Structure 1
Amino acid sequence: MSTTPELIKTYIAAGLACSHLEVEGDGRHFSALIVSDAFAGKRPIARHQIVYAALGERMREEIHALSMKTLTPEEFAQHG
């Protein structure tokens, strides 16, 4: 079974409370816009580590490339 954007969205949402979540991709390369209160006060690398933790082993086994834009709800409101 190939990984789909919807599957990745489900995986992230299961491990991280998100107020907004978008995932796009072609089966190998994916991009995600993730908005969560968990990112407040965190640097970009720490935010990405939070997402990687939510994805767990799937990041190594199923997902080959994932680019992320990680925002707090306040940042999303300013950029949205």
Structure 2
Amino acid sequence: MVTPESIQQDIASNMATTHLTVTGDGQHFEAIVVSQEFSGKSRIGRQQLVYKTLGDRMKGEIHALSMKTYTPEEWAQASN
């Protein structure tokens, strides 16, 4: 079974993040990912980086993953 914790672990294991949270009900998940790796990338480019960390899980196990992606600087502004 897919859990928010297992998704969070996969992202954290494959990408340097400064903030990461994943919530969900077992089918639909939402992630907030903050990473310097997003610098200079479009929203789609950022999502592709996260999808890459999850590999084949996105093709079967994870039915829906919405995400908010930020650079550390964007996150600092959004958190104020």
Superposition TM-score tier, normalisation by shorter sequence: over 0.9
Find runs of 4+ consecutive structure 1 residues off by over 6 angstroms. none
How does 1:1-80 map onto structure 2 within 5 Å?
2-80=1-79
TM-score calculated relative to the size of structure 1: 0.96
Separation (CA, whole Å) in 1 of partners of 2:77 and 2:45: 21
Q: For residue 79 of structure 1, what is the amino acid of its counterpart? A: A
- Residues 20-60 of structure 1 show CA distances to partners (whole Å, capped at 9, x for unaligned) of 00000000000000000000010100000000111110111
Give the gaps of 5 or more residues in structure 1: none
Cα deviation for residue 62 of structure 1 reads 1.1
Partners of 1:27 and 1:62 in 2: how far apart?
Answer: 10
Q: Secondary structure at the match of 2:21?
A: strand
TM score, norm. by length of structure 2:
0.96
RMSD: 0.5
Q: Distance in 2 between matches of 1:55 and 1:12?
A: 7
Q: How many residues of Structure 1 are paired with residues of Structure 2 in the alignment?
A: 79
- Identity value in percent: 57
